Amino acid sequence: MRIPTFIDLFCGCGGLALGFEKAGFTSVYAADIDLASTMTYQENFKHDVFCGDIKELSITQLGKFVGQVDVIVGGPPCQGFSPLGKFSPRKEHATMNKLWQEYLRILDLIEPKAFLIENVPEFLRSQEFELLKEQLQSRDYNIIYNVLRAVDYGVPQKRVRGFVIGMRGRLPRFPDPTCERKTVRDAIGDLPLSPDGDNWHIGRNPTQISIERYECVPPGGNRFDLMEKRPDITPRCWLNKPTGSTDVFGRLEWGKPALTIRTEFYKPEKGRYLHPEAHRPITHREAARLQTFPDDFKFIGSKIEVARMIGNAVPPKLAYHIANAIYQVLFNDAKSVP
């Protein structure tokens, strides 16, 4: 039997693709607007990647894949749907929210056996998703959608994402949660406490006052520990706000999973990103491991670009379990629906 194939839209650096390839699929084409991401994807998956506006993708680039690809996967931009995005004044979010329409256009062009859409959970409660469901009613896809917790699938991180699966002629299903539970220690416990610069195990150069602030925060603690112990070095904006997020300036714990690894994990003021033991934020390599990227995955780009890739990616281990469920239904199940 030939190896099943997929096309990856809004591909990022390839978190979804890693999971699909491990499940037995092969990536044959991908597209993203971010240059560093497409360079990283091409380096790891060894085929051409389209870099540009997805609206420019046409039969010229995709003609040879029509009717020849098993699955289309992808995560249209989520900034406009996320809780953080709702407070952003950026006008382009309104346009980005509608990029699922381009995904659907390419779906109609390629006509794969199945598709997967990934986004923030809020997308599944949005008006745009209602419009998407209406559009899919006129097509021959059976669809399911759900919110999955990465920690339920062996990812050492409490990341939560929304997924939509569609299939022609078969009833899709989501993977059952596994019994595997991973912690921060499982993911990064063997890495040097002092970043050695090897393979993106790189650290910042904090000031002395930053180090003193880090030292005030115990495992599981946050900015409120700093406020209590050292108000003299606490930023005034925090002193003037005695309530709020308990993740800001938080420290990870060895025996628990991390919270969501976002794109600015190197800034402890953005979330719970302090190392469980060392007085520093986590490194790029540590963040990649918490996302379940293997150490031999090659990232190309600046520190900021690579951090953005890592934070935006679907954890490959979660992607594997979803891809495996799709594979089993498409190729191993005897039953199909008329």
Alpha carbons 33 and 96: distance in angstroms, whole number? 12
Q: How far is CA 283 from CA 128, 154, 264, in A?
A: 36, 21, 11
- Specify the residue for token string 């954890």: 315
Alpha carbons 263 and 87: distance in angstroms, whole number? 17
Reply yes or no on whether 78 is catalytic: yes
Using an 8 Å Cβ cutoff, are 312 and 209 in contact? Answer: no
Q: What is the full DSSP assignment across 109-159?
A: HH--SEEEEEE-GGGGGSHHHHHHHHHHHTTT-EEEEEEEEGGGGT-SB--
Q: In angstroms, how far is the first alpha carbon of the chain from the final one? A: 23
Catalytic residue among 78, 179, 216, 237: 78
Q: How many CB atoms lie within 10 A of CB 285?
A: 23
What type of residue is 136? L
Query: With b meaning 16 or more CB within 10 Å and e meaning fewer, what string describes 245-279?
Result: eeebbbbbbeebbbbbbbbbbbebebbbbbbbebb
Alpha carbons 329 and 310: distance in angstroms, whole number? 30
Q: How far is CA 316 from CA 20, 147, 194, 203, 247, in A?
A: 8, 16, 26, 24, 25
Alpha carbons 93 and 91: distance in angstroms, whole number? 5
Alpha carbons 38 and 253: distance in angstroms, whole number? 34
- Active-site positions read 78
